[in-house]
C-alpha cells in the first residue's frame, strides 16, 4: 500500500504542473479529501495475462421483451461466452441525450432503460467490468450545464466560453460541425466549446473543482468494480487558444494523475486511453511508463483491412516492426472493430494517400459510409469508415467473392496474435452485416455498426447454418485455444517477420513457449518458408507437412521453448 506522505507529494507535484501559477494548496487538500472517501485495496498488482479477453458491447446490444437489457446481456454471455471472456466493456450505461450514450446526462447513475447498478454488479460477479469515463464533455441536459445556463449552482463554471471572433483554426477537429455553439444564458448569449456536437459540451478542466469532481466519479466506478477505466476522447481534454488543443502537456499530466490515484485505491486497476489519432501520437500516452497502462491499437484495424483488401502485407509489416516491446505495466488494447467506425487518421504516415483514398472508395462499394473532419484550411477529409468489419471483408479491391468468412476469421486471428490484450466488438463475434435500415432510421452513419439484436432472432441465426454461426463458433474455439498459450501473454516478446508481400508473420515468445503466426493475406494458394522447428499447428491440431497456405489460411505453429536465465 502506498505511503500517504509520498502519495501526497506526488499528487501535489502533478497538480502544480497542471495549474502552474493558479495552483493553490486547497486543490491538493480537496482531492485528498475525495480520495479518503474510498477504501484502499491490497489486491494483486498483476494487471493482465494471456487469459484476458474483452468483449465490447452496448448494454442493450441484445434485447428481449419483458426483461431489462443488462439482464438479457448477462444471461446471453453466461450461456454462450462464459469460458471465453474475462472482461466486458459495457459502453456508457448512463442516462444520455445523444451519441448512443456518449452525451452523458448523469455520470453517477445507470440508465433505467438498461437496468440498475444491481444489474451491473450482478454481471461483474461473472465478468470483470470495463467502464467509460466520458471525460471531455457532458450532455447539454446535464445538471451542470443547466446550472451554467442559469449561471448558478454546481457546474456554472464547468464549461468553456470563447469569443467566436478569435482565430481557432489551429484547433484539431474530429468533426465537420462548428467548434463553438451559441447558448442563451442568464448572462446573455455565450459561445460554448463543443468539440463533438452541440449536445456534447466540453468540460473546463482549467477549473480544479471540476477535476476533483471527475476524480470522485472515477473512484466511484472503481468502487463499483470497474477493473479497466476507458478515458474517452482524452486527447482533447485541455484547451489553449492558439494551439491544436490536442495532446497538450496538461492533458498528459491529468492521465498520470488518474493513474496515480487509481492505483493508490486499487493496484489492479488499468487506465486505458482512447485516442483515435496517428500512431506516434497514440503511443505518447504510455508516457515514461507512468501514464496509461494500456492504449488502443488504433492503426491495426485500418492497416489490417488494407492488407486483406489488397493482399499486400508490406504496410502492416512495416508498422508492426515499429511497435515498442511491451514490458511491465503497459500493453496494447488490440481490436479490429468497435462501436465507432474504422479510423482513417491512424493511417497518417503509414499508408500513402492514394492507397488510403482507394480503401475509402472501396469500402463505400461494400455498403460503407464515411464520416469527415474539418481541416485548418477549411477543407474536409475522411475521418472514419462506417461499416461492419465483417462486411468490410466481403471482397477485395478486385471483387466481392465467396471467401468473406475465411478472410474475416483471418483478420481476427491476426488481431489475437499481436502483443496485447485482444478485444472483440459484439458485432464481430456475431459477424453482423451492415445495418443499413438503422442508418435510414437515425440518419447517423455510425448506426451501420450498432445494430440491436433481438435475442430470439440472434439465437435463431446462431443455431442455423449461417455465416454468423460459423464465425461465432470458430471464434469461440480460437479464443479458448489462445487462452491456453503462455506465449500469448500480453507482454510476451514479439518479433515481426519478413515473409513476402502476400504473407504476414510474427513470433511470440515467453520463457516456456514460442508460437509462429503465419497468415496468407491473399485469395490464392501461397508457399512460405519458416524454421523447421515450427511444425505443429495449434489451430488444426496437426503437423504441417507442406509449407503451403490456402487462401486466408492462418497457422499458429509451436516451436522450441525460450529459456531465459
Bridge-based pairing of strands 87-90 and 128-134 is parallel
How far is Cα of residue 257 from the mean position of the Cα atoms in its chain? 21
Q: Which residues contact 264 (CB under 8 A, 6 or more apart)?
A: 2, 7, 35, 40
3-state secondary structure (DSSP) of residue 265? helix
State the greatest distance between any 2 C-alpha atoms of the chain, in Å, as a whole number. 78
Q: Active site includes 126?
A: no
- Choosing from 202, 232, 340, 391, the catalytic residue is 232
Cell, residue 53: 479477453
Rounded distance between C-alpha atoms, residue 488 and residue 492, angstroms: 6
Using alpha carbons only, how large is the chain's radius of gyration in Å?
24
Cell, residue 267: 493496484
Residue 387 DSSP one-character state: S
CA distances from 531 to 410, 501, 507, 517, 557 (A): 22, 19, 11, 12, 10
3-state secondary structure (DSSP) of residue 389? helix
Rounded distance between C-alpha atoms, residue 383 and residue 195, angstroms: 14
Helix (H) or strand (E) holding 408: helix 404-417
| Closest to 264 in 3D by CA, of 31, 456, 91 | 31
The answer to whether 88 and 74 have CB atoms below 8 angstroms apart is no
Q: Which residues are catalytic?
A: 232
Amino acid at each position: 500500500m502506498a505511503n500517504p506522505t509520498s502519495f501526497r507529494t506526488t499528487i501535489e507535484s502533478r497538480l502544480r504542473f497542471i495549474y502552474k501559477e493558479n495552483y493553490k494548496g486547497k486543490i491538493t487538500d480537496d482531492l485528498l479529501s475525495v480520495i479518503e472517501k474510498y477504501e484502499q485495496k491490497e489486491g494483486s498488482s498483476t494487471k493482465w495475462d494471456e487469459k484476458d479477453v474483452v468483449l465490447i458491447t452496448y448494454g442493450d446490444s441484445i434485447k428481449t421483451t419483458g426483461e431489462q437489457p443488462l439482464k438479457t446481456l448477462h444471461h446471453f454471455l453466461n450461456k454462450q461466452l462464459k469460458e471465453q471472456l474475462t472482461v466486458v466493456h459495457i459502453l456508457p450505461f448512463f442516462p444520455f441525450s445523444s451519441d448512443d450514450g456518449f452525451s452523458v446526462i448523469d455520470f453517477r447513475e445507470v440508465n433505467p432503460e438498461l437496468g440498475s447498478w444491481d444489474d451491473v454488479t450482478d454481471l461483474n460477479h461473472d465478468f470483470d467490468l470495463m467502464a467509460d469515463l466520458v471525460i471531455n464533455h457532458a450532455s447539454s441536459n446535464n445538471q451542470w450545464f443547466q446550472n451554467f445556463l442559469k449561471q448558478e449552482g454546481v457546474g456554472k463554471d464547468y464549461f468553456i466560453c470563447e469569443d467566436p471572433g478569435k482565430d481557432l483554426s489551429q484547433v484539431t477537429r474530429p468533426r465537420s460541425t462548428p467548434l463553438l455553439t451559441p447558448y442563451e444564458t442568464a448572462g446573455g448569449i455565450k459561445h460554448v466549446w463543443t468539440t463533438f456536437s452541440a449536445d456534447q459540451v466540453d468540460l473546463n478542466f482549467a477549473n480544479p473543482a471540476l477535476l476533483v469532481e471527475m476524480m470522485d466519479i472515477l473512484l466511484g466506478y472503481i468502487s463499483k468494480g470497474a477493473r479497466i477505466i476507458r478515458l474517452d476522447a482524452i486527447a482533447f481534454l485541455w484547451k489553449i487558444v492558439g494551439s491544436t488543443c490536442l495532446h497538450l502537456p496538461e492533458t498528459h499530466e491529468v492521465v498520470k494523475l488518474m493513474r496515480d490515484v487509481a492505483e493508490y485505491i486499487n493496484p489492479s486497476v488499468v487506465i486505458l486511453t482512447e485516442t483515435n489519432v496517428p500512431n506516434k501520437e497514440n503511443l505518447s500516452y504510455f508516457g515514461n511508463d507512468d501514464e496509461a497502462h494500456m492504449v488502443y491499437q488504433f492503426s491495426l484495424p485500418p492497416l489490417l483491412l488494407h492488407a486483406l483488401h489488397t493482399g499486400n502485407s508490406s504496410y502492416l509489416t512495416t508498422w508492426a516492426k515499429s511497435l515498442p516491446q511491451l514490458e511491465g505495466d503497459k500493453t496494447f488494447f488490440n481490436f479490429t472493430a468497435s462501436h465507432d467506425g474504422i479510423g482513417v487518421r491512424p493511417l497518417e504516415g503509414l499508408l500513402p494517400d492514394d492507397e488510403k483514398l482507394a480503401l475509402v472508395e472501396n469500402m463505400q462499394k461494400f455498403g460503407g459510409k464515411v464520416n469527415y473532419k474539418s481541416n485548418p484550411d477549411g477543407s474536409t477529409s475522411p475521418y472514419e469508415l462506417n461499416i461492419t468489419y465483417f462486411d468490410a471483408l466481403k471482397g477485395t479491391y478486385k471483387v466481392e467473392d465467396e471467401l468473406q468468412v475465411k478472410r474475416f476469421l483471418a483478420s481476427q486471428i491476426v488481431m489475437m496474435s499481436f502483443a496485447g490484450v485482444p478485444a472483440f466488438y459484439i458485432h464481430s463475434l456475431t459477424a453482423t452485416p451492415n445495418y443499413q435500415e438503422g442508418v435510414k432510421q437515425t440518419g447517423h452513419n455510425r448506426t451501420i455498426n450498432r445494430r440491436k439484436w433481438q435475442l430470439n432472432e440472434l439465437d435463431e441465426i446462431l443455431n442455423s447454418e449461417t455465416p454468423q454461426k460459423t464465425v461465432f463458433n470458430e471464434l469461440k474455439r480460437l479464443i479458448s485455444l489462445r487462452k491456453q498459450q503462455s506465449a500469448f501473454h500480453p507482454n510476451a516478446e514479439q518479433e515481426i517477420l519478413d515473409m513476402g508481400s502476400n504473407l504476414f508473420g510474427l513470433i511470440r515468445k515467453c520463457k516456456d513457449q514460442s508460437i509462429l503466426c503465419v497468415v496468407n493475406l491473399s485469395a490464392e494458394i501461397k508457399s512460405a518458408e519458416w524454421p523447421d522447428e515450427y511444425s505443429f499447428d495449434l489451430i488444426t491440431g496437426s503437423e504441417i507437412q507442406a509449407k503451403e497456405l490456402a487462401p486466408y489460411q492462418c497457422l499458429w505453429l509451436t516451436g522450441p521453448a525460450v529459456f531465459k536465465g
